[in-house]
């Protein structure tokens, strides 16, 4: 039963669409009407409002971190379920007809809360790939794939299944980006596409 509660807690926190809320509150429109049409920080950045994009990134990260932190307190046997729930909530929020973001920032938050060395590695891989390629999707996918590998290397096998599930979800949600990467047409940070 704790698994169900932890998953639900994570889902509810993860489903808060901060990108949409911030853009509307600050009169910047609706992120679903620009770029890729999703509610995450990368697409919010396409509005030209860097401050809103940065806030979206931090809040999306924060909701993942909070979900797992609360699970550690209330459901200490199953924090991974809250992690999975938070990413699912962000990607498929019930309030937006299950059309949300791609889970990269929220995944960073859950990895930091599950085990900070995994989160630190996730952040490092993400930032390094972003600096080298300036391609947000590639940075996010690489970081997501790195997380379960790091969990295994650190001797945390109990975290590997949930991190593999999250990585697969992130990759599936980026399938169009993967096709563009293979075609050499994936936009870089700063592009309006």
DSSP assignment of 37-55: ---SHHHHHTTT-HHHHHH
- What's the CA dihedral at 8, 54, 22, 186 to 10 degrees? -80
**Distance (Å) of CA 11 to CA 14, 46, 58, 88, 106:** 5, 26, 18, 6, 11
- For the cut 70, the answer to whether the pLDDT of residue 100 exceeds it is yes
In angstroms, rounded to a whole number, what is the distance separating the alpha carbons of residues 158 and 162? 8
Where exactly are the structural domains of the chain?
Answer: 2-183
Which range is least confidently modeled, 91-95, 125-129, 185-189? Answer: 185-189
Residue 100 carries which DSSP code? -
Model confidence at 190: pLDDT above 90: no
Q: How confident is the model at residue 186 (pLDDT cuts 50, 70, 90)?
A: very high
Q: What is the percent of the chain with per-residue pLDDT over 90, rounded to a whole number?
A: 84
189 near 130, Cβ under 8 Å? yes
**pLDDT tens sequence across 154-179:** 999 999 999 999 999 999 999 999 99
The tokens 């949600």 sit on which residue? 173
The Cα 127–Cα 162 span in angstroms is 23
% of the chain beyond a pLDDT of 70: 98
- What is the C-alpha separation between 3 and 164, in angstroms, rounded? 18
Q: What tokens were used for 143?
A: 């970081």
* Alpha-carbon span 61 to 110, nearest angstrom: 8
pLDDT over threshold 80, residue 191: no
């Amino acid at each position: 039963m704790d698994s169900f509660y932890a998953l639900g807690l994570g889902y509810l926190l993860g489903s808060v669409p901060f990108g949409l809320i911030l853009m509307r509150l600050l009169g910047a429109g609706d992120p679903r009407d620009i770029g890729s049409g999703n509610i995450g920080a990368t697409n919010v950045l396409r509005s030209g409002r860097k401050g809103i994009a940065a806030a979206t990134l931090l809040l999306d990260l924060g909701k993942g971190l909070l979900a797992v932190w609360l699970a550690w307190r209330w459901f200490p046997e199953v924090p991974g379920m809250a992690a999975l729930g938070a990413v699912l909530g962000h990607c498929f929020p019930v309030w937006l007809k299950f059309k949300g973001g791609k889970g990269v920032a929220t995944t960073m938050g859950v990895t930091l809360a599950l085990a900070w060395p995994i989160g630190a590695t996730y952040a490092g891989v993400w930032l390094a790939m972003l600096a080298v390629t300036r391609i947000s999707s590639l940075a996010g996918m690489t970081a997501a794939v790195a997380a379960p590998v790091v969990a295994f290397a650190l001797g945390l096998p109990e975290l590997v299944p949930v991190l593999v599930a999250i990585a697969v979800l992130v990759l599936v949600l980026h399938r169009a980006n993967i096709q563009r990467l293979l075609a050499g047409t994936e936009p870089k940070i700063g592009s309006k596409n």
